Structure 1
Amino acid sequence: MADRFFGTDGVRGMANSYPMTADIALRLGAAAGRYFRQDKNDHRVVIGKDTRLSGYMIENALTAGFTSSGMNVFLLGPVPTPAIGYLTHSLRADVGVMISASHNPATDNGIKFFGPDGFKLSDEAEREIERLLNTGVTPARPGNIGRARRFEDARGRYVEYAKTTFPRRKRLDGLRVVVDCANGAAYRTAPAVLWELGAEVIPVGVEPNGLNINAECGSTHPETAARKVRDTRADLGICLDGDADRLILIDEKGHVADGDQIMGLIATRWAQEGRLAGGAVAATVMSNLGLERHLERFGIGLERTSVGDRYVVERMREKGLNLGGEQSGHIVLTDYATTGDGLIAALQFLATMVETGQKASKLARVFAPVPQKLINLRYAAGKAPLDADAVQEAIRAGEQRLGTGGRLLIRKSGTEPLIRVMGEAGDTALLEDVLNSIVAAVKAES
């Protein structure tokens, strides 16, 4: 059987271990180059990365693979993932690549592909690249080998574009903003955009060393920015992840607002302004029931998708929507970007603060969430806890106990060896008991 490399968000794994090795990256670059190579003289790929130490290794291996297939490579250096979507289209490239494991620790890395339209690849395209990787690719003739060069202006182009998404003739003057860049890809771009729009910027997580990306900072550790907001009496805290496609907000009191609250605010604002395309929002099965009920009150639909921002984007394109996202902070605004963009989403929130004159605490909690709990359980290699009869029986029993008053979502992560156990219910004691039973069954099989 042919090896499978792609998960829910590209290829991902521990750096220097299968499949995230230099050898696989080289072969993957050659396969993707062969897939995207068109009948024209200039075959072009843009490659960006976050700040992980292993990014150098993966970048060089991908470059070798792409050039061996006849593709010319533009190396962008550390840039946010959404910048790759934007620049792939802007530079008329055949394919864009982001080297990042997003919110994962520095020991991991990943490879994400974008098509010439700036959107992430479909499942069908990924399967064809996998087929080419497994069967092998005939290299280009010596005279047709591609070239590689650094593209020095990538960060500046994205900074200028991001500023255009903020309302014209509006400024952030007088606002003090903490921005936690997770020691990741946006460590220069996000502070620059906010400062150039007039904000007083208090940067956090802007000293990457290759090993500290997402370490006790960023969207997975919002408590770091929350402390800084309280200590500096800031008006808002912005928490990005390692590749800056996620956003978590902190209000002036230090309270956290997740992706559901941000989507709820933008959806109602855009609906009132006649800007919400399709009359609905796309969100995953993880989004809180409270969001769904909030949107219903304003006559806005909610399109539920599988977990993963690429599936959100696919539904948005299918239904003609311009707003979607995930509770974890991927906010997709297709009027401005082809994938989740934490900075551009934050600018939409800041625009609402400026236009309404209201504090972040008033805007960042637009609905009361239904009590929800998520437990992540790591399992050993070779194990398949969800296939065990005891686990399936525990899930069925839990669903019966919750009935119509709650819901369960038990799934395997597509990016890490984790089983994600999530439940929602108004009766928190019942929810806790149900989840504990499922967790115990999963641990016994892990």
Structure 2
Amino acid sequence: MGDLFGTDGIRGLAVENVKRDSSAITRCIDDREFSVGLLQLVGEALGTYLRPSGEGRPRVVIGWDQRPLNEDLVRSLTVGLHLSNCSVIWAGECATPGLHATLLAEGGDTGCMVTASHNPVSDSGIKIFDKDGYKTSPEVESTIEALIHQLSSEERELSEDEKCELGIADQSVDGTAIHSAALTLRLPMLKLRYLDGLVSSLFPPEGLLLDSSKGSATTWLADWLSENLVKTEELSAGCLALNEGCGAGELSPTLTMTWDELSTKEHNHVLFDELNKRQNSYNTSEMILAATLDGDGDRCLLVRVNSKATGIEVVDGDQMLDALAMAASEITPQIKGMIAASIESDLSLLNSLQRLDAELEAVETAVGDRWLAVALRDNLTSSSEPFRIGGEDSGHLLLTTPHPIQDDEWRLVGDGIATLVASICALATCSEKQGFQFGWKSRQSISPSVRSKWDGKNENAEAVIALLEGDWQRQDIDGESNLLMMKGKINGDKVSVAVRNSGTQAKTTVSIRSTGTHLPDLLEEVIQTLTPRLQP
């Protein structure tokens, strides 16, 4: 993978600079500037990649979320695609799964989502999908990046009139409407697979609180859920901007909070402020109180009363994945399928699947839903729905979805709304059953970090290894080129110590997982060792 693309496309601080030259690339790599000029280069390069013989007119679908510069960025991307002889379809403001649904429904050759996901609203970025709705591989991104560098050296002067003409789509569709229609089609499939019983017992009388991070779902999802699943109230509509004081991006998967902490801490988050107002009515353990999406709607976390009714806790992606597997095996005994989880998921999760009445292949992958899809995407041609689930503890879950225009074909999509619906159904089905016995995990980032100082193999990696006593083995994972992951045992419990650079931000993350023993001191020791080595 080159320097522009990270684990989830390209991201940076959105700027108006319109220069489409090498300086746009340098500023993105060195200063995290995601510029209008860079997007024109990306469009030109992507179109060139899609036409290796120089023939044909590929169809590219573009969606975007609600960020201040996104419309300018989309127009510039459209200019670049038109210059390379592509046809452009705008899906409008929509969630990333809305772009995915539109790409499949329109039979496009490629999809582009202009978003920075859970990053601050001042950032933007681009995710690129192939014709099957899967994120592009590092090899494809390297090819596109090489073309970006090549094209940046070619002068291409356009008048403002030419830019205006080239910056208009050939066709516009309503990506949000296509997305909601696809979810309505999926709803009975999700209930058939995961629901045996009633969901109403999971919630307080007033229903579910919803925080859509002021994304595209803010205007319609609460009504859709109220009609199809549970009475729902949207909280983020009054927030100032996307991801600002709202959304799943602010929630740690391991977050817990007592009622006292909820009432005395300053949260600056619409969900916690509302939960605090209502906490006196929340006295039933494991009652689901809220669901929250991230800005581009591809992941979801739930919030519920904890098991002792002394406060709240996040239901993270690991717990939701386990509930889905439990429910599916309850409803369909001996179900066959495949489960994938990333290296940041609970260390006990995949092994615990053996307790279920199911024949499940379990796979550990690199971080990012792209790598979950790589593990799960084979053998998806079937007259009945295959059983595949991929998950990260952050709430990114990949579930199967029917191809809208190809019979007996299924694809995988990370859709926070589908995750929300499926997880509620599964938790209702398994409300009387014990979930997996999760271990301990904690992550901490060094931010900002100079990511070039960490490659997983240099003297800084050796300094981490020197902290570990006993018999430890290094494990490599496809897709994690700078990962150091050491596995061993402490107090008889399996332990994983991992350090990796973020692919989207200037930070390096230390993650420690254990099947039982809590290891905050080891985490702090690794952080203290690396911080002076990696900070600017």
TM interval, short-chain normalised: 0.7 to 0.9
Residue in structure 1 matched with residue 303 of structure 2 by the alignment: 250
Matched-pair contact (CA < 8 Å) for 1:73–1:146: no
Residue in structure 2 matched with residue 265 of structure 1 by the alignment: 323
Q: Work out which of the residue numbers 46, 69, 72 in structure 1 matches 2:87.
A: 72
Q: Work out which of the residue numbers 384, 406, 418 in structure 2 matches 1:344.
A: 418
Structure 1 window deviating more from structure 2 (20-29 vs 313-322): it is 313-322
Matched-pair contact (CA < 8 Å) for 1:394–1:441: yes
Q: CA deviation at 1:99?
A: 0.8
- Structure 1: runs of 5 or more not aligned: none
Decide whether aligned partners of structure 1 residues 328 and 168 sit closer, same or farther in structure 2, where only a CA change above 3 A counts. closer
Decide whether aligned partners of structure 1 residues 327 and 3 sit closer, same or farther in structure 2, where only a CA change above 3 A counts. closer
Matched-pair contact (CA < 8 Å) for 2:2–2:142: no
- Corresponding letter in the other structure for 1:201: T
Residue in structure 2 matched with residue 313 of structure 1 by the alignment: 373
Whole-angstrom CA distance in 1 between matches of 2:190 and 2:390:
27
Residue in structure 1 matched with residue 9 of structure 2 by the alignment: 10
Matched-pair contact (CA < 8 Å) for 2:101–2:178: no
Q: CA deviation at 1:310?
A: 0.1
Structure 1 window deviating more from structure 2 (44-53 vs 193-202): it is 193-202
Query: What SS is found at the alignment partner of 1:186?
Result: helix
Query: How do 1:228-377 and structure 2 match up within 5 A?
Result: 228-229=274-275, 231=278, 235-251=288-304, 254-274=312-332, 279-298=337-356, 300-318=360-378, 322-335=388-401, 338-352=412-426, 356=429, 366-377=435-446
- Corresponding letter in the other structure for 2:106: L
Q: CA deviation at 1:276?
A: 8.8
The higher radius of gyration belongs to 2
- Corresponding letter in the other structure for 1:108: D
Whole-angstrom CA distance in 1 between matches of 2:388 and 2:334:
7
Task: Please report the TM-score for the alignment, with normalisation by the length of structure 2.
Answer: 0.73
Residue in structure 1 matched with residue 405 of structure 2 by the alignment: none
Residue in structure 1 matched with residue 150 of structure 2 by the alignment: 135
Whole-angstrom CA distance in 1 between matches of 2:354 and 2:362:
8
Residue in structure 1 matched with residue 525 of structure 2 by the alignment: 437
Query: What SS is found at the alignment partner of 2:419?
Result: helix
CA displacement, residues 108-167 of structure 1 (integer Å, 9 cap, x when unaligned): 22100111122211222222212221222999xx9x979515624221121111122222
Matched-pair contact (CA < 8 Å) for 2:340–2:375: yes
Whole-angstrom CA distance in 1 between matches of 2:395 and 2:190:
28
Task: Please report the TM-score for the alignment, with normalisation by the length of structure 1.
Answer: 0.86
Identity %: 27
Q: CA deviation at 1:45?
A: 1.4
Whole-angstrom CA distance in 1 between matches of 2:105 and 2:176:
13
Whole-angstrom CA distance in 1 between matches of 2:468 and 2:329:
37
Decide whether aligned partners of structure 1 residues 393 and 401 sit closer, same or farther in structure 2, where only a CA change above 3 A counts. farther
Q: Work out which of the residue numbers 9, 29, 50 in structure 2 matches 1:36.
A: 50
Residue in structure 2 matched with residue 160 of structure 1 by the alignment: 181
RMSD (CA atoms): 3.2
Structure 1 window deviating more from structure 2 (296-305 vs 47-56): it is 296-305
Aligned length: 434
Whole-angstrom CA distance in 2 between matches of 1:99 and 1:204:
24
Query: What SS is found at the alignment partner of 1:194?
Result: helix
Query: What SS is found at the alignment partner of 2:111?
Result: strand
CA displacement, residues 162-196 of structure 1 (integer Å, 9 cap, x when unaligned): 12222279797896121111122432343243133
Query: What SS is found at the alignment partner of 1:372?
Result: strand
1:62 and 2:77 aligned: yes
Query: What SS is found at the alignment partner of 1:131?
Result: helix
- Corresponding letter in the other structure for 1:263: L
Decide whether aligned partners of structure 1 residues 129 and 255 sit closer, same or farther in structure 2, where only a CA change above 3 A counts. same
Query: What SS is found at the alignment partner of 1:333?
Result: strand
Whole-angstrom CA distance in 2 between matches of 1:169 and 1:130:
39
Decide whether aligned partners of structure 1 residues 136 and 24 sit closer, same or farther in structure 2, where only a CA change above 3 A counts. same
- Structure 2: runs of 5 or more not aligned: 16-26, 157-161, 192-197, 252-268, 307-311, 381-386, 403-410, 473-487
Residue in structure 1 matched with residue 219 of structure 2 by the alignment: 188
